[in-house]
Amino acid sequence: MNHSGMHHPGGTRYAPPVGYSAIEAYGLGKRYRRGWALQDVSFRLPAGRVCGLVGPNGAGKTTLMGLATNMIQPTTGALRVFDAAPGSREAILRTAFLSQEKPLFRRFTVAETLRLGRELNPRWDQGVAEGLVSAGQVPLSARIGTLSGGQRTRVAFSLAFGKRPDLLILDEPMSDLDPLVRRELMATLTAEAAQHGTTVLVSSHMLAELQHICDYLLVIANGGLRLAGEVNELRAAHAWFAAPGGGPSPALAPHRVVEFRGEEGRQGALVRLGGPIEYGGQAEHPTLEELLLAYLRSPDAPSLIAPGAQVGDIHDVIARDRNKTVTA
Binding site for ligand ATP (CB under 6 A): 32-34, 37, 55, 57-63
Q: Which is nearer to ligand ATP, 62 or 69 (CB)?
A: 62
CA–CA distance, 307 with 229 (Å, rounded to integer) = 8
DSSP 189-254: HHHHHHHH--EEEEE-S-HHHHHHH-SEEEEEETTEEEEEEEHHHHHHTEEEE--TTSS--GGGTT
Nearer to ligand ATP, 66 or 162 (CB): 66
Toward ligand ATP, which CB reaches closer, 60 or 229? 60
Cβ atoms within 10 Å, residue 92:
16
Quote the least distance from Cβ 292 to ligand ATP, whole Å: 14
Own/partner long-range contacts of 230-233 (Cβ < 8 Å, ≥24 apart): 230/1, 230/3, 230/49, 230/306, 230/308, 230/309, 231/288, 232/1, 233/1, 233/306, 233/308
Q: How far is the CB of 183 from ligand ATP (least distance, A)?
A: 22
CB of 241 to ligand ATP, least distance (A): 31
Tell me the residue type at 236: A
Between CA 328 and CA 325 the distance in angstroms is: 5
Nearer CB in complex with ligand ATP: 61/226: 61
**Closer residue to ligand ATP in complex, CB, 226/238:** 226
Rounded to a whole number, what is the distance in angstroms from the first to the last CA of the chain? 36
**Distance in Å, CB of 253 to ligand ATP, minimum:** 35
d(CA 111, CA 91): 27
Q: Nearest distance from residue 31's CB to ligand ATP, in Å?
A: 9
Q: Which is nearer to ligand ATP, 33 or 89 (CB)?
A: 33
CB of 203 to ligand ATP, least distance (A): 7
